[in-house]
Structure 1
Amino acid sequence: MRICFLGVGEAFDEHYPNTSLLVSIPSPDSGFHMLLDCGFTAPAAYYRHAPGDARSGSGLDAIWISHFHGDHFLGLPLLLLRFWEEGRTRPLTIVGQAGVEEKVWAAFELAYPGFRPRLRYPVRFQEAASGQVIEVAGARWSFALGDHSVATPCLAVRLDCDGGAVMYSGDGRPTLATAELARDVDLLVHEAYGLEPDTPGHGGVPGCLELARDVRARNLALVHVNRRVRRESAGTIRAMLAQVMGGHGFLPEPGDVITPDRDPDHG
């Protein structure tokens, strides 16, 4: 698997796009591409950093929405419209929690009223729930509920393919269920909003480091760091990662790429 960090920021960050990952799985043909979360600023980051085969009008196979906060899904209307503008005809699958189809089309109608019938490609929806396992775009997807918001629950997702595995937390503190989902994963991508051990509704750097160690994650990447914390303490976070994870702990920048069996390339 190849993981490109399109964005690594939180909702309000003016310098870092909303956290969004592109997971690519090679195949003898063209492979599969899956986008994990698509917030307000993610579409521009997608076209800035995604490889050409994913950026083409038919390159993206599936989109995962971890939860229905704007910095995780309200970039979808723009991305769907640009796919239309580029002439996409190939079906696209969107995976998310119960109600994902209704919410996506409601957002699209607000952004571009009356435009939905003009889309020339099918958009298919697959609902997901904690404990469920599905097969989409060449990978096995598993889900677990994190500790984020009662009103807007967030699912972590694990993608397994050809013996490799990556888990993306979305937002939220680790739970017993997400820890089990992350066990022995090749790459754990977890939001770490601050330096406190326990941040209500969010992961913290110390807790994520402890989680990675406990579940024997081979690599750890921290994303969605509070913009002030990142600006003032990025060096401290990298030192903490190095102490616990050695050369396998990362505070990625937009455009960075990680393959679980190699160090990241910096773009």
Structure 2
Amino acid sequence: MRVTFVGVGEAFDECLPNTSLFVAGMTGESRRTVLLDCGFTAAAAFFGCPSLSDADRRDGPDAVWLSHFHGDHYFGLPYLLARMQEQGRAQPLCIHGGEGVANRVWQVVELAYPNLRDRLDFEVVCLEARPDAPLVIAGFSARAAVTGHGALCLGLRLETQFGILYYGGDGAPTPACRELASGCALVVQEGYGMLPGMAGHGSVAEAVEMAEAAWANTLAVVHVRRELRRERGAEIARQLAAASIRALLPEPGEVFEA
């Protein structure tokens, strides 16, 4: 499993692209790829990410996962679809997300580029995910659980042949999220604040506690509030270094391999 941090920023960070991960892994004898979230600035970051191969940036992912329907997690879809159309994509694209995903996807595409949907030379299939129901995303087994966010947000456990990932989207981890994170090679969790108590958001402390309790191999903290990351980054680094597991504050383009 190879996970590229395309973006690691929160909604309005002017320096860091919105949090988005490109996951490549094996299912059987096939290499498959998933883009986890695609916000305002994430699509441009994807096509410009130097850690991705030319082929991956040209072909795009096999599937997209949308944790929830806030702009910094899915408003990059029109850019993604239009760019892949220009680059000659022919294979279908599956977009997975919560209830109403098809309406959300096509509404934002129509607002950005009217008639793009009719001009696409590849099929876009929107599939609803439900908490606790088994999922298959780009051939990978997966499960979802509701996080502690203001809007309905789904954390995701994605199982590749050589590694398991948990991606929390936004919000503090719930007991169901902690269960999904159990034994994962990589847990990617929001740390918008330093300490618990921010309505609708998780904290660095909660991310560390969750990953340690889950016996995860590695924790990556993303979506840190922009002022906090700039002004207290060294303090966050010390907090992560004190964890009983490997814990990091990744930069855009950083790669994790299991």
The 8 Å contact of residues 39 and 72 in structure 1, kept in 2 or not, is answered as yes
The residue type paired with residue 213 of structure 1 is E
Unaligned residue ranges in structure 2 (runs of 5+): none
2:170 maps to 171
Alpha-carbon distance in structure 2 between the residues aligned to 1:74 and 1:55:
19
Alpha-carbon distance in structure 2 between the residues aligned to 1:143 and 1:174:
12
Q: Deviations over 1:187-216 (max 9, x none)?
A: 000010011233211110111111111111
2:78 maps to 77
Q: CA deviation at 1:184?
A: 1.1
Alpha-carbon distance in structure 2 between the residues aligned to 1:2 and 1:102:
31
Q: CA deviation at 1:137?
A: 1.4
Q: CA deviation at 1:30?
A: 6.3
Q: CA deviation at 1:26?
A: 4.0
Scaled by the length of structure 2, what TM-score is found? Answer: 0.96
Q: CA deviation at 1:27?
A: 6.5
The residue type paired with residue 22 of structure 2 is L
Alpha-carbon distance in structure 2 between the residues aligned to 1:208 and 1:197:
10
SS across alignment from 1:244 = coil
Alpha-carbon distance in structure 2 between the residues aligned to 1:25 and 1:243:
30
Q: CA deviation at 1:163?
A: 4.9
- The 5-angstrom pairing of residues 179-190 of structure 1 reads 179-190=178-189
SS across alignment from 1:55 = helix
1:263 maps to none
SS across alignment from 2:22 = strand
1:62 maps to 63
The 8 Å contact of residues 185 and 217 in structure 2, kept in 1 or not, is answered as yes
Scaled by the length of structure 1, what TM-score is found? Answer: 0.92
The 8 Å contact of residues 145 and 177 in structure 1, kept in 2 or not, is answered as yes
SS across alignment from 1:77 = helix
The 8 Å contact of residues 25 and 161 in structure 2, kept in 1 or not, is answered as no
- The 5-angstrom pairing of residues 1-267 of structure 1 reads 1-26=1-26, 31-49=31-49, 50-57=52-59, 59-149=60-150, 152-245=151-244, 248-260=246-258
Q: CA deviation at 1:136?
A: 2.3
SS across alignment from 2:219 = strand
The residue type paired with residue 39 of structure 2 is G
SS across alignment from 1:79 = helix
The residue type paired with residue 226 of structure 1 is R
SS across alignment from 2:15 = coil
The 8 Å contact of residues 27 and 161 in structure 2, kept in 1 or not, is answered as no
The 8 Å contact of residues 43 and 78 in structure 1, kept in 2 or not, is answered as yes
The 8 Å contact of residues 25 and 138 in structure 1, kept in 2 or not, is answered as no
- In structure 2, relative to structure 1, the CA distance for the partners of 1:88 and 1:220 (3 Å cut) is same
Alpha-carbon distance in structure 2 between the residues aligned to 1:163 and 1:88:
28
Count of paired positions? 256
SS across alignment from 1:221 = strand
CA RMSD of aligned residues (A): 1.4
Q: CA deviation at 1:28?
A: 8.4
What percent of counterpart residues are identical?
46
